[in-house]
Chain A
């Protein structure tokens, strides 16, 4: 990998793919640059889809801004179907072949479909991932459905529930676990958000699952829960997680499965035998990489911030002459969500925490910064409507500072370490 690449192909025309293209040009790459996308849209931003786009005041066009001199050839509405590592060629759905010197794989994830295909096909049953999904669901909300049922106790479900309440639409949220958002925020903060949702009129049902759906003329009319309860509804959103877009890599010899596409700390994709696939890099939701902030455990981080940061690292490394000139992807995961008028932010990975402490503010005030610890070390911090305090905790998390961190601030009367 010494000669400068003449042809770079990026598969995946979303945030990671576009960011990589921009960084490649900023770093002086002047060769051919092709971005392949399976959707017909130019790269667009997803976070506004579950919030402001559904609410309605602004346009649904969330096309990402890009500099006018990017000089990218877009192949849109065209999924990649096959990768030939030995020929260094990507094949598209229309049988065209794209040769590359460097390849970036950024095909991300898609919404996990509702498991029963007949129910999933009913009018009034939605998933929310792409712009077309948001437009369809937005049209349903504008038509004032009788009730929206959200399945899934994650952030997308709560963001949509929040938007529905802003629009004065009755909402039921079905969460399989005992506490919503617990995987990301821990039970205390997840419980707090659940409480806020209930106050805003959300019918929140915990440890609750759908037994079956009822339909009239192909249109959803009601759901029956496993506990026997029946809810009349004409609009249901299944927000039950994602699937990674790895199928097109089958037979390529790369190590790709439901957990993601395996890459090393330099964003270089690995073959099934563990060797580096020469010239092939990956970034974004699909990438599964050794995270230095989690003892090099292999993780895929499906966050906006990681898509950007990993694409930047991959772009730099694609142009590096050899490994010694490459940089490690040591991004500290960060994340935000907006719901019920609150901004929730998280840095680090709170999953697996054994200690929790409110560092500023209070749960009662619903304005706070909390830190998470594991084995006496600081591993994550979360803020609710206190974004300005949060960056101070990044350094503590990076250093895995003793828990609780930063205990001598003037606004910290007494820190109580408790269970998360």
Chain B
């Protein structure tokens, strides 16, 4: 999966830490660090974190690739 957090929005309510403890953590009182590339097996937890965030700061999608034409 791929995860991004809008840290302008994040107000350190820490709900994501409870929903997906291995993938979100606080460094200090309010500095959120997160796993930008969690394993697909964590999908349920990550989706719970997305929904648990009171300020809707977390975006996550399964690894997209198939439908994009990725020419180089």
Contact = CB atoms under 8 A, between A and B. Distances in A.
A59 B36 contact: yes
Given A45-B4, A47-B7, A387-B11, A74 B68 contact: yes
B35 A387 contact: no
B21 to A, nearest CB: 13
Contacts, number: 120
B69 A65 contact: no
Contacts of A75: 71-72
Contact of A338 (B1, B31, B36): B31
Nearest to A339: B31
B52 interface: no
Interface residues on A, range: 35 or more
Contact of B11 (A51, A304, A342, A388): A388
Chain B interface size, as a band, is 20 to 34
Interface string B1-34: 1111011101110000000000000011111111
Contact of A385 (B4, B30, B64, B66): B30
Given A64-B2, A77-B72, A343 B12 contact: yes
B37 A58 contact: yes
A259 interface: no
Contacts of A66: 2, 61, 64
A339 B23 CA distance: 19
Interface of A: 40, 42, 45, 47-48, 51-52, 55, 57-59, 61-78, 304-305, 308, 334-336, 338, 340-343, 345, 367, 385-388
24 contacts: A45-B36, A48-B33, A48-B34, A52-B36, A58-B36, A59-B35, A59-B36, A63-B2, A63-B63, A64-B2, A65-B1, A65-B59, A65-B61, A66-B61, A67-B61, A72-B69, A74-B70, A336-B7, A336-B8, A338-B28, A341-B28, A341-B31, A387-B10, A388-B12
